[in-house]
Structures are given as C-alpha cells and as structure tokens.
C-alpha cells in the first residue's frame, strides 16, 4: 500500500533476449501482454539483447539491453552441430542477464522470463528472492541445469500445455496467446499500391521467420505449381532469418521470383495493413505449438490455409480455414487453387475467424489471468519473508 492506502502497482521486469533483435511468437506475447498489463496499472520494464557491436535493430523505448554475440544469418537449424553456436549465444546472454538482474532484483516485484532456463537457474543460485515466472514457448526446451524446475511459476499455451504436463509439470498455467482485434482488423490498406500489385491479383501472405520448421521450401514448391494456372498471383513473405537467401534462390530456380515479395521484418504496427491487403493467409510449417500469425490473420478476416502442424488446425477447425497434410506441396497447391477460385468461401471463412477471435483470443483476458498469477506470487513471497 502507498501513503494513501492504495495498492502499489506491480513492478514487472520482462526478460526477453530477442525482443530488440527480431520478432517471433515469444516476442509478440511479451510485448503485447506487457502493454496490456501496463494499461491495467503495472510498471513494466524490459531487459533484452543487442548485437555485440552497434545498436539493437528493433529498439524498445526504455529497454535495458545487453550486448552479446548474435549470428543473425547463421543457419543454425540447417548446419550439423549449428545448435551449439545458438546455445553459446544464449548462454552468453543468460550469464550477463543473471548478473544484471541480481543487481537490480530489488527494483521489481516479478521477473517475467521468456524461456532462458539457465538464467532462471543462475538467479536462484545467486539467492534472488524476487519471484520468477517462466514462459515456455515450446515443450522441447533445452535445460541442462534444471532452471525450469526452480522457476516459481511456469506459463505456456497451445500444444505446449499438455506436453509439459506429460513431462511432469502439472502446475503449468495456461495463459493463452491473443491478438488485438482493434489493431488487426479489416481496413483500408495502401500495401498493394506501394508494391505495384493490381487490385485483381490474388495475394497469399506468410508471416514467419526463415527457419527450417517453417518450411518455406515446400510453400514455394506449392506456389510455383499453383501459379502455372493462376498467373495473376503473388506470394508475400514477411520475416527474416538464416534461410532467407536460400529461399530467394529457390524462387529463381522455380521461375517465380517475379511473383514473390520478400518484405523482411515488417514493423509490428505496419503488419495489419499487410494482412488487410492479402486474400489468404498461408502457414506451411511442419510444427507450431500455437502460431500468432494464424490469429492475426483471423482477426483481419483472412481465411487460413495451413498444414496439419500442431495447434493451428485447432484454431481454424470451426470454419476459419482449410487444413492439408504437412510437407505435401501438391495438397497445398490444391488448397491454394480451391480458395483462390472461391471468393465466397474465403469471405465466409474470414468472417468466421474474425468472430472467433472476438470470442476467444483477446489480450485483455490473457493479461488479467497473468496479472492474477503475478499477484498470487507476490503475496506468497511476502508471507515467506515474515
């Protein structure tokens, strides 16, 4: 309580190495849910990573950054043993972050950590008393020191929930991923004009990092087959990653380079305009534990064509999209043909998806659930200190 008898706002530190480097599902979750926590009265701060030399490519106002090695273009998921370099990058950041947080832990009531199990282990080893909430974006985490077991609370969403419980983490709390339907909505967009795309051209959109499990390779194969019968079509690829150059070369080899737009990292606030200009959202992944891009598309009233890749089929199963087998380029091409040739079906799917988002996937509900968890942990820590 403050001097006026009012509850003091919770001071929450979000630790997310990639938030200032590049954006994926984990970063979207932290940035959006922290914004809604702040709107509810919390004092939110960020600790993130930056390249060893130079400023972070995606800076956050007021964020503290730690400069550590970052091999942005190294295809760690395609090179034998490449994961070791990826691990070394994160180890270095976690070690530095543990030192920084230990010095400043008293300034915060809650430490909200995106994965980084080594960081959690080192914080507990240093005797940090501030409660640590750890979010696991997928169940296949790498935790050689046992950081997950010593976190004060675990949160996750999608397929990760049951898989974590099956691994013995019965206490994991489901904090669902969500979307801002006021931001991602059907709206006027100048994206087509800026990119020289005609109003009658069919545009499919994929928002994903260029990593192996996102399977851009299969998507390009499917799109090339589809484009033979649909020459007035484009494929827009938003995102960056180690396999981007290889994907661009594949587009040349398939003869569709002139039909594919490599948009790079699109600022989050500009993404709604990209969705609004598309006709279809495509997801070619081999696996997704949830997939923010799916509900962003649904919120934008876009139909979704997805592989059978984990959680996404469950998001669209009630009429918001179409599911084909993972890794099957011909089945994906057939899905593209069916949806491109049936505007009425796309419109029905899009309207269904938008309604489902409004009913099931809003940030305000998820932020309130996390706020309650934070409050319970702070109260429990206060009782222990008496």
Q: What is the pLDDT of residue 277?
A: 98
Match 């300034």 to its residue by tokens.
107
pLDDT digits (tens, 9 = 90+) for 197-222: 999 999 999 999 999 999 999 999 99
Whole-model pTM? Answer: 0.78
The average pLDDT across 329-337 equals 98
11-178+362-385 matches 191-360 in fold: yes
Residue 73: band (very low, low, confident or very high) from pLDDT cuts 50, 70, 90: confident
For the sheet with 304-307, list strands across it: 260-264, 233-238, 202-207, 280-283, 304-307, 321-324
Domain ranges of the chain: 11-178+362-385, 191-360
Q: What is the pLDDT of residue 12?
A: 98
The tokens describing 68, both together, are 């550590």
pLDDT, averaged across the chain = 94
pLDDT digits (tens, 9 = 90+) for 106-133: 999 999 999 999 999 999 999 999 999 9
Length of the chain in residues, anyone?
386
Match 């600022």 to its residue by tokens.
267
Which helix (H) or strand (E) element contains residue 38? Answer: helix 25-39
Statement: residue 3 has pLDDT above 60:
no
pLDDT digits (tens, 9 = 90+) for 261-318: 999 999 989 999 999 999 999 999 999 988 899 999 999 999 999 999 988 999 999 9
Q: Under CATH, which number does the domain 191-360 receive?
A: 3.40.50.2000
Residue 76: band (very low, low, confident or very high) from pLDDT cuts 50, 70, 90: confident
The average pLDDT across 315-343 equals 97
Is the separation of the CB atoms in 374 and 110 below 8 Å? yes
Residue 348: band (very low, low, confident or very high) from pLDDT cuts 50, 70, 90: very high
* Cα–Cα–Cα angle for 34, 148, 214, rounded to 5 degrees: 65
Is the separation of the CB atoms in 153 and 179 below 8 Å? no
- Burial class (CB within 10 angstroms; exposed 0-12, middle 13-18, buried 19+) of 372: exposed
Domain 11-178+362-385 of CATH type 3.40.190.10:
no
Nearest to 336 by CA among 195, 205, 196: 205
d(CA 163, CA 251): 36
């Amino acid at each position: 309580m403050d001097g006026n008898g009012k509850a003091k706002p919770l001071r929450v530190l979000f630790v997310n190495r990639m938030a200032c480097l590049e954006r994926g599902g984990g970063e979207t979750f932290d940035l959006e849910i922290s914004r809604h926590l702040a709107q509810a009265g919390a004092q939110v701060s960020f600790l993130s990573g930056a390249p060893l030399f130079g400023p972070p490519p995606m800076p956050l106002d007021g964020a503290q950054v730690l400069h550590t090695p970052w091999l942005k273009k190294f295809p760690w998921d395609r090179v034998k043993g490449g994961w070791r370099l990826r691990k070394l990058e994160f180890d270095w950041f976690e070690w530095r972050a543990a030192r920084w947080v230990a010095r400043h832990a008293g300034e915060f009531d809650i430490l909200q950590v995106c994965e980084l199990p080594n960081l959690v282990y080192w914080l507990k080893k240093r005797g940090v008393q501030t409660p640590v909430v750890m979010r696991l974006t997928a169940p296949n985490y790498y935790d050689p020191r046992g950081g997950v077991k010593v976190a004060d609370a675990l949160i996750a969403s999608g397929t990760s929930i049951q898989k974590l419980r099956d691994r013995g983490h019965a206490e994991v709390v489901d904090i669902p991923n969500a979307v801002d339907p006021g931001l991602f909505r059907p709206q006027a967009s100048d994206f087509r004009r800026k990119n020289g795309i005609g109003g009658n051209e069919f545009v499919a959109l994929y928002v994903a990092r260029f990593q192996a499990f996102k399977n851009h390779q299969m998507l390009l194969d499917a799109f090339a087959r589809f484009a033979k019968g649909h020459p007035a079509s484009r494929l827009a690829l938003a995102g960056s990653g180690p396999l981007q150059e290889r994907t661009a070369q594949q587009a040349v080899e398939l003869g569709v380079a002139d039909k594919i737009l490599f948009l790079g990292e699109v600022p989050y606030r500009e993404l709604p305009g990209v969705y609004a200009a598309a006709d279809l959202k495509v997801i070619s992944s081999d696996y997704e534990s949830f997939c923010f891009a799916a509900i962003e598309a649904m919120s934008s009233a876009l139909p979704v064509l997805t592989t059978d890749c984990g959680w996404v089929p469950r998001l669209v199963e009630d009429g918001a999209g179409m599911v084909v087998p993972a890794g099957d380029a011909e089945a994906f091409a057939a899905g593209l043909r069916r949806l491109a040739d049936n505007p009425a079906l796309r419109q029905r799917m899009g309207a269904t998806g938008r309604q489902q988002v409004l009913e099931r996937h809003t940030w305000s509900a998820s932020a309130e659930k996390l706020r309650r968890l934070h409050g319970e942990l702070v109260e429990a820590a206060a009782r222990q200190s008496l």
